Structures are given as C-alpha cells and as structure tokens.
Amino acid sequence: MSEDLDELYQDVILDHFKHPRCHGELEEPDATQKLFNPLCGDQVCVAIKLEGTNVSDVKFVGKGCSISQASASMMADLCKGKSREEIEKIISSFRAMMRNEVEPEVIEDLIDDAISLKGVRKFTSRIKCAVLAWEAMEKCLASLNKPGN
C-alpha cells in the first residue's frame, strides 16, 4: 500500500466501517433523508429524533465504500445528543475541512474521529463519499424548518 492509501484507510476509519456506531432504523423519526452518491454507488439514509432543540437520537443505514459508511458512523456518533445549532457548526466545519478552507487541527475538538477523514481530501473523487452523510444530516435539519413540519 502506498503512503497515501495508508492515510486514506486509517485504523479509525476501518474501525467505524467494521463496527458502525448508531447503525440501524429509528422508530418514528422526526426527519429522515436518503442520499445517493452516483460517483461511487454509496447510499446513506440518516434518521433523527428531536427533543426540544436537541437531536436526541441519530441512526443511519447505508451501503457503499468504507469511506462513506465510516463517515456516516462518525457523523451520527458525533451529532447524537447535540443541539441543532452545535450540529450545524460541526457540519460546516467538516465541510470547510474537506474544501481545504480550514486546517484540520483547528477543528479537531469539534469533529473528533472525523478528523481521520482529512486524508480523503487528496482524492477528489472520494470527497463526495465522505461528505454524503453530513449532507443528509444537514437536509434532515433543513426539512424541520419547512412549513408544515
């Protein structure tokens, strides 16, 4: 394996892929979003439950490459129990890292295990894999703001 690929498939990514956190179906979710990444064939469906302004539970199901599924596990684990405001900040920080707009070390406390995905930035075609679940969470929160919800 080349050094770059070693970085891409770090132990922490493989651990989340093999033992996904927050995996499964959520009963009576307040919002769900299913996204598909045609570039790689990844699927992620994120479901959340609200309690006041907090996202009290997050679960995901999906299939696809290890990057997409590990990233979903990290995102779900990270966002569970946090306020919507905190989650929006976490997601925008993660997206900024993937766009090379912020140094990963600066936001490490905020994104925790997801910092291991920084190696993916070097592989343009895989960035969508890493961002998919975060985008689904973002859409879940946005759907709650729509009239009728």
Instruction: Enumerate binding residues for Zn ion (CB under 5 A).
Output: 40, 42, 65, 68, 129
Question: Burial, 30: exposed, middle or buried (Cβ in 10 Å; 0-12, 13-18, 19+)?
Answer: middle
Asked if 60 and 45 count as a contact pair (C-beta separation under 8 A), the reply is: yes
Nearer to Zn ion, 55 or 76 (CB): 76
Question: Burial, 63: exposed, middle or buried (Cβ in 10 Å; 0-12, 13-18, 19+)?
Answer: exposed
Nearer to Zn ion, 42 or 138 (CB): 42
DSSP state of 106: G
Least distance (Å) from Zn ion to the CB of residue 148?
33
Nearer to Zn ion, 40 or 144 (CB): 40
Cβ of 144: how many Cβ atoms within 10 Å?
A: 14
Least distance (Å) from Zn ion to the CB of residue 49?
27
Nearer to Zn ion, 42 or 135 (CB): 42
Give me the phi and psi of 128, to 5 degrees please.
-60, -35
Least distance (Å) from Zn ion to the CB of residue 71?
9
Least distance (Å) from Zn ion to the CB of residue 96?
21
